[in-house]
């Protein structure tokens, strides 16, 4: 017999099963060098003697920066022809938020998957920044109710955060990530050689997510970031490589051990600082990129944590100082943009945040460096004081 509330409603059968999700995250360099077996190994991890059909989509920005990439991929596939087969030419996909904002992106991708006869045992391989991974991942997740998908994140932001998770989405109706799915990828291959070709602004942008996850989960990593901020600001390869791996591992640990990998509840700790960041991206029409907006949002919520009595005085200065040493500007005039009633528009981010998850508002703040805490209300007056503090710092 089932427990209430089912006892009074007749004959009920309770269906219950669990599914284990598992996918490798490979850190390598020069993945398409002929002797590098990273891709072949992940393609063949369940069916080692099969020739796997692969459709490859590449961020247009990556193709522009690496014009030989298509021929490298084709040579790689030819050298490993017993294990992989390319299904047509490489497909360019517009990068950045453009592809997530364009309402035709997903329909074009779905049409392409159909034209190329991609089936549930074929692979879609996305090479690019987080937006391209999101779009191709979403199309892959809904085509045939899900085809095998491999990600090659090519930015710091994608390699240390978004690219190692189980989410994908596109924007709709002016709202960020409104339409999407939770879908574990087949594998993730983080190739450090892609980081070399990034412009400085893009290298810097991903560091804010490392600061974020250190603040909520690992004080020792935050201390390391402080100790090596100058090396990171100079984009030292060895230090940037360590930042990416450490941040990725912390994000993976949260997804694995946090108890809510598909966000069925209302808490979203990995989005510390994001309620205002997402709104700031929208208000600036992506003039401020995601990493830059997250840096501002993290500084804002750290100051709020101090003013609300949760975090020791001075820790907000410490966090802001680190972000500024890494090269972030912790202010944008859109933080002052108000509606007709004089209310800052950025505060709409709180309502968007709550609506996205449903249930009560849940925002992560700080109870210490490396220790996040969930709260269910935000005092708009204290938010305003935190914005004042950011403006004074500029």
Residues 388 and 240 both lie in one domain: yes
Give CA separation, 361 vs 2, 38, 203, 368, in Å. Answer: 31, 42, 32, 21
The dihedral formed by the CA atoms of 25, 31, 32 and 38, expressed in degrees to the nearest 10: -50
Question: Residue 293 sits in a domain of what CATH number?
Answer: 1.20.1090.10
Q: Are residues 155 and 293 located together in one domain of the fold? A: no
pLDDT classification of 3: cutoffs 50, 70, 90: low
Same domain, 281 and 185: no
Question: Are 211 and 252 found together in one domain?
Answer: yes
Residues 177 and 212 occupy one common structural domain = no
- State how far the Cα of 101 lies from the Cα of 325, in Å rounded to an integer: 32
Residue 101 pLDDT exceeds 70: yes
Tokens 């990493």 — which residue? 291
Within a domain: 386: yes
State the chain's mean pLDDT as an integer: 94
User: Is it the case that residue 306 has pLDDT exceeding 80?
Assistant: yes
Are the C-beta atoms of residues 330 and 320 closer than 8 Å to each other? yes
Co-location of 240 and 277 in the same domain: yes
pLDDT of res. 1: 46
What percentage of the chain reaches a pLDDT higher than 70? 97
Q: Say yes or no: 182 and 295 in one domain.
A: no
Residues 342 and 324 in one domain: yes
Check which CATH number belongs to the domain holding 84 and give it: 3.40.50.1970
Cα 65 from chain centre: 22
Q: Is the pTM here over 0.85, yes or no?
A: yes
With respect to residue 6, please indicate whether it lies within any of the assigned structural domains: no
Domain membership of residue 5 (yes or no) is no
| Structural domain boundaries, residue 91 | 25-196
Residues 188, 222: one domain? Answer: no
Q: How much of the chain is in helix, strand and coil states, percent to nearest 5?
A: 50, 15, 35
**341, two tokens:** 């009633």
User: Quick one: 178 and 269 in the same domain?
Assistant: no
Task: Taking residues 131-152, report their average pLDDT.
Answer: 97
Q: How many domains does the chain have?
A: 2
């Amino acid at each position: 017999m089932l427990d209430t509330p089912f006892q009074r409603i007749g004959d009920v059968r309770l269906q219950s099963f669990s599914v284990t999700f598992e996918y490798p995250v490979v850190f390598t360099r020069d993945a398409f060098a002929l002797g590098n077996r990273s891709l072949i190994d992940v393609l063949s991890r369940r069916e080692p003697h099969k020739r796997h059909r692969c459709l490859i989509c590449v961020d247009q920005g990556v193709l522009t920066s690496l014009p030989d990439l298509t021929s490298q991929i084709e040579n790689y596939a030819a050298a490993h022809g017993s294990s992989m087969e390319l299904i047509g030419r490489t497909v360019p996909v517009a990068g950045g938020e453009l592809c997530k904002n364009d309402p035709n992106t997903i329909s074009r991708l779905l049409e392409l998957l159909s034209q190329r006869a991609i089936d549930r045992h074929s692979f879609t391989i996305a090479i690019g920044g987080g937006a391209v991974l999101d779009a191709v991942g979403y199309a892959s997740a809904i085509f045939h109710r899900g085809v095998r998908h491999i990600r090659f994140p090519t930015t710091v932001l994608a390699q240390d955060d978004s690219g190692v998770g189980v989410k994908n989405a596109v924007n709709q109706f002016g709202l960020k990530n409104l339409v999407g799915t939770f879908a574990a990828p087949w594998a993730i291959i983080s190739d450090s050689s892609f980081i070399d070709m990034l412009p400085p602004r893009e290298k810097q942008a991903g560091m804010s997510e490392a600061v974020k996850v250190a603040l909520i989960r690992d004080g020792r990593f935050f201390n390391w970031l402080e100790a090596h901020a100058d090396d990171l600001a100079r984009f030292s390869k060895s230090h940037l490589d360590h930042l990416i791996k450490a941040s990725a591992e912390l994000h993976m640990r949260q997804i694995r051990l946090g108890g809510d990998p598909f966000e069925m509840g209302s808490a979203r700790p990995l989005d510390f600082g994001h309620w205002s960041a997402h709104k700031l991206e929208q208000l600036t029409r992506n003039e401020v990129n995601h990493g830059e907006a997250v840096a501002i949002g993290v500084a804002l919520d750290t100051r709020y944590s101090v003013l609300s009595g949760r975090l020791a005085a001075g820790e907000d200065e410490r966090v802001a100082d680190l972000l500024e040493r890494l090269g972030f500007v912790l202010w944008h005039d859109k933080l002052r943009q108000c509606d007709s009633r004089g209310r800052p528009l950025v505060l709409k981010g709180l309502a968007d945040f709550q609506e996205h998850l449903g249930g009560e508002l849940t925002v992560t703040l700080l109870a210490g460096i490396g220790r996040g805490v969930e709260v269910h209300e935000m005092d708009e007056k204290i938010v305003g004081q935190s914005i004042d503090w950011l403006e004074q710092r500029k």
